């Protein structure tokens, strides 16, 4: 069924997180080391609405 994919990311120590990906049939949890906040970095660099892109 579409729309039931879940993804969570929980920081628990400097550079470490537990990530979880699941759907209605299965789930997987893993420890992730040396993670970065790449999505936030990308969003900080994205042009703001109405801002000049020059």
What is the extent of the structural domain holding 29?
A: 6-45
Quick check: is 18 in a domain? yes
Quick check: is 53 in a domain? no
Quick check: is 10 in a domain? yes
* SS3 of the chain: CCCCCEEEEEEEECCEEEEEEECCCCEEEEEEECCCCHHHHHHHHCCCCCCCCC
Quick check: is 39 in a domain? yes
Over the stretch 1-54, which tens digit does the pLDDT of each residue have?
556 899 898 988 877 889 999 999 999 999 988 767 777 777 788 776 666 655
Number of domains observed in the structure of the chain: 1
Calpha distance 25→46 (Å, rounded): 36
């Amino acid at each position: 069924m579409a729309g039931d994919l879940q993804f969570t990311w929980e920081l628990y120590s400097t550079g470490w997180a537990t990530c979880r990906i699941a759907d209605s049939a299965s789930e997987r949890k893993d420890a992730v080391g040396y993670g970065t906040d790449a999505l936030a970095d990308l969003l900080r660099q994205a042009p703001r609405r109405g801002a000049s892109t020059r």
